[in-house]
Amino acid sequence: MDFLPVFQKVKGRLCLVVGGGAVGTRKAGVLLEAGAKVRVVAPEIDDELKSNANVEAVVARFEAKHLDGVTLIIAATNDRSVNKQVSELAQARNIPVNVVDDPELCSFIMPAILDRSPLMVAFSSGGASPVLTRMMRGKLESIIPHNFKRLAQFAERFRELVKQRVTNPPKRRLFWEDVLEGVIAEKVLSGDEAGGEALLREMLDKEDNVLHGEVYLVGAGPGDPDLLTFRALRLMQKADVVVYDNLVSKPIVEMTRRDAERIYVGKKRDDHTLPQEEINLLLVRLAKEGKRVLRLKGGDPFIFGRGGEEIETLAAEGIAFQVVPGITAASGVASYAGIPLTHRDHAQSCIFVTGHLKDGTMNLDWDALARPKQTVVVYMGLRGLDTLCAELVKHGMPDTTPIAIVQHGTQPTQRVITGTLATLPAIAEREKPQAPTLIIIGGVVTLREKLAWFHP
Ligand code: SAH
């Protein structure tokens, strides 16, 4: 370790910035954000900076006397001899000094920061690679969402109260872990601070300080783990129990917390491992045991996913839940198959339907589907392919209309089979695509010849 990371208090103290260019101005801005008073010394100084009440603008060349009374110094001129002079004078007086982009002249370096005040993350490569540091920040940005600020402020607000009420330190640590990882944190993160506060007080009042669990209804997208949202990933790594069905790809299930209990509830067509009502009740029971339950669904939970029914039961039982959207099969599969769902030359609208057959019939509004300049996406349609093609033609769609079947879209086993309304049923009979498959109908299918980019 070449440097000792510390967080220095500059609130109300005088700091010096030498240099009035873009860099100096930016550094002065950071110091002001941390509550410092800033003396800026430069032949020319930015007007906005000059008019800031906490800035003492000294329009002049740097002189030793400018160091008087300062706590911390940043030199950012484009003249190395000036920077060197500032550094030497500062170090002679034991005042911490940073010279921008010149580690040799620094007694301290400025880290990259991620500001979720009061939560602060500062990191540095010790000047070895600013690009690496920036990339690291990007990664952290994604796992520490912006609203963590709220959570940190919330924790700060109740710190004293919890200290008074939960006096045993190890117990208090567990209490805070529950708060910051559980229902309360989720409430605060989603903007409901009052709700979070009510639950925190309820938890304090309970003998064992334990609350009900909660359910995260999370869309896992069409299969490629890269298509998960940040929020999905965060909740996946937090849940105690994972309830998933066969549409969720294996690599995604494996990204859930290692020690989480995993419950498979099946749901292949006509082979319902657990009926929907039992899944609904299972979620309720697990949450009532105090667990954080991840209900992981393929695609988006609110698109042909029966997500609405699952949370209706939760709502009726007063269990906290949140819904995380996912990339639905139509948009994931279309992208990876090189078929834009709309296109100025081919389709001004796009319609999603489910082709699930009840008693061998497909109950769809065929006239609405057969309209020109429209893309039709059919979920769960493979078994009814013959009926689908025949009905569309019967209702006026030309039998030369292009149509594609995409098997296992976005996954390494993706396959795209194309034809027309007239030819595809026979082609599919021969090619035997494997579920899940999505059917896309319309002129946009021809664009695939030019736009396909994913070649598993
Ligand atoms: N909620 C899901 C859809 C559930 S219905 C979503 O938003 O995507 C199940 C149907 O989705 C499957 O029968 C199939 O038509 C489609 N589907 C889901 N994932 C798919 C994939 N990776 N490739 C092709 N079709 C998929």
pLDDT number for residue 236: 93
Domain formed by 330-451, architecture: 2-Layer Sandwich (3.30)
Interatomic CA distance for residues 311 and 142, integer angstroms? 27
Report, as an integer, the average pLDDT of 223-233: 94
pLDDT number for residue 269: 52
Active site residue: 267, 291, 297, 300, which one? Answer: 267
Active site residue: 27, 245, 297, 300, which one? Answer: 245
Please report the DSSP string for 395-446 in residue order: TT--TT-EEEEEESTTSTT-EEEEEETTTHHHHHHHH-PPSSEEEEESGGGG
What is the tens place of the pLDDT at every residue in 171-196?
898 889 889 988 899 899 989 999 99
Domain(s) labelled CATH 3.40.1010.10 in the chain stretch across 212-327
Mutate to test the pocket of ligand 1, among 265, 304, 331, 413 (most ligand atoms within 8 A of CB): 304
Domain(s) labelled CATH 3.30.950.10 in the chain stretch across 330-451
Percent of the chain with pLDDT over 90: 75
pLDDT band of residue 208 (cuts 50, 70, 90) is: confident
**Per-residue pLDDT at 347 exceeds 60:** yes
The predicted model scores a pTM of: 0.75
Q: How far is the CA of 371 from the centre of ligand 1 (A)?
A: 24
For residues 327 and 224, the answer to whether their CB atoms sit within 8 Å is no
pLDDT number for residue 174: 83
pLDDT number for residue 51: 94
Interatomic CA distance for residues 276 and 282, integer angstroms? 10
**Per-residue pLDDT at 285 exceeds 90:** yes
What is the tens place of the pLDDT at every residue in 354-391?
987 666 678 899 999 999 999 999 999 999 999 999 99
Q: Which amino acid is at 401?
A: T
Q: What is the mean pLDDT of the chain?
A: 92
pLDDT number for residue 128: 82
pLDDT number for residue 76: 96
Report, as an integer, the average pLDDT of 9-30: 96
Q: How far is the CA of 149 from the centre of ligand 1 (A)?
A: 36
pLDDT number for residue 143: 81
Question: Highest mean pLDDT: which of 37-41, 115-119, 234-238?
Answer: 37-41
Give start and end residues of each alpha helix (H) in 146-192: 148-165, 169-181, 183-189
Ligand 1 pocket, Cβ-based, cut-off 6 angstroms: 222-223, 247, 297-300, 303-305, 328-329, 333, 379-380, 406, 408-411, 436-438
pLDDT band of residue 49 (cuts 50, 70, 90) is: very high
Domain(s) labelled CATH 3.40.50.720 in the chain stretch across 14-110
pLDDT number for residue 253: 95
| CATH classification code of 212-327 | 3.40.1010.10
**Per-residue pLDDT at 337 exceeds 80:** yes
**Per-residue pLDDT at 134 exceeds 80:** yes
Consecutive H or E run containing 84: helix 80-92
Looking at domain 14-110, does it have CATH number 3.40.50.970?
no
pLDDT number for residue 357: 67
Task: Mark whether 245 is an active-site residue.
Answer: yes
What is the tens place of the pLDDT at every residue in 398-452?
999 999 999 999 999 999 999 999 999 999 999 999 999 999 999 999 999 999 9
**Per-residue pLDDT at 205 exceeds 70:** yes
More confident residue, 274 or 27: 27
**Per-residue pLDDT at 271 exceeds 70:** no
Q: How many CB atoms lie within 10 A of CB 109?
A: 16
pLDDT number for residue 272: 56
The verdict on whether omega for the bond into residue 170 sits within 30 degrees of 0, i.e. cis, is: no
Both structure tokens of 419: 């034809």
Task: Mark whether 79 is an active-site residue.
Answer: no
